[in-house]
Structure 1
Amino acid sequence: MIKSKKLMYQIIAVISLGLAIFGVITPGFPATEFVLLCAWSSAKGSPKIHHFLHANRFTGPVLNDWRNGKVISLNNKIFSSISMLLCVCFLFYSGLNIYFIGFGLFGISISFIWVWSRPSHV
């Protein structure tokens, strides 16, 4: 049972790392949340991935800030907000059904509020 639980955490870590990388290159898709999920799951299942995340020059500072007070830097907040704004523009430009647009706007709004509710410095 222990090995299957460890494997589950490893799978979550790999998938969330992949989604974080996808989020870096895709406007409107979150990256920070998936990095945090990957750090949490890799701490429980994969020391190699956990060490990689904390040693990486891109994810290391974000995780260090999060560990020391659940902080999201102002630069990350601004980048995230610009990305969300681009996603909103794409939603309206896409011509999707109004219900899909509303669902997307609801999710983006929740993310926006959550990101800006976190402190910007320790």
Structure 2
Amino acid sequence: MVVPGQLFYKIIALAAVLIGFIGALLPLLPTTPFLLIAIWAASRGSPQLKSWLMNHRHFGPVLNDWYQRRAIPVTGKCLACGMMLSSWLVLWYSGGHPYLLWGLGFFFVGLILFIVSRPSS
């Protein structure tokens, strides 16, 4: 018997896995955040799905590093920081509103500091 709360988490986990896999194919949709949501939800609603994700050939090592040590691969750090910088520069170059530029600038700096402060895997 499935407990309603478990079913809720299982649905979230499955939806996040689906979106994450779509993100692996589409260049502008991120994969990792959705797979992290999937791990979180699967740990509450589907131990089998969590085990499958943690042992996945491509995504398992990165998810295990995050789950066990909160570590981010160096290439992931560089890619994330580079994408934030390039997106901010595109907004600046295209004449983005100053409030938007300042707000995103502070947000991106905070996010970059968080990402860089995580251990590397």
Specify which structure has the bigger relative contact order, considering alpha-carbon pairs within 8 angstroms and separated by 6 or more residues.
Answer: 1
TM over 0.5: yes
- Say yes or no: does 1:73 pair with 2:73: yes
State whether residues 13 and 39 of structure 2, in contact with CA within 8 Å, keep that contact through their aligned partners in structure 1. yes
Cross-structure match for 2:4: 4
State the distance in 1 between where 2:16 and 2:113 align: 22
State the distance in 2 between where 1:81 and 1:31 align: 16
User: Larger Rg: 1 or 2?
Assistant: 2
User: Identity percentage over the alignment?
Assistant: 31
Distance 1:13 1:69, change over 3 A: same
State the distance in 2 between where 1:21 and 1:109 align: 28
TM (normalized to structure 2)? 0.73
Q: State how many pairs are aligned.
A: 118
State whether residues 20 and 30 of structure 1, in contact with CA within 8 Å, keep that contact through their aligned partners in structure 2. no
Cross-structure match for 1:46: 46
Q: CA RMSD in A?
A: 2.8
Structure 1 gaps, min length 5: none
Task: State the one-letter code of the partner of 1:109.
Answer: V
Cross-structure match for 1:112: 112
Question: What is the SS of the residue equivalent to 1:25?
Answer: coil
Deviating beyond 6 angstroms after TM superposition, the runs of 4 or more aligned structure 1 residues are none
Task: State the one-letter code of the partner of 2:92.
Answer: F
State the distance in 1 between where 2:94 and 2:7 align: 39
Cross-structure match for 1:25: 27
Structure 2 gaps, min length 5: none
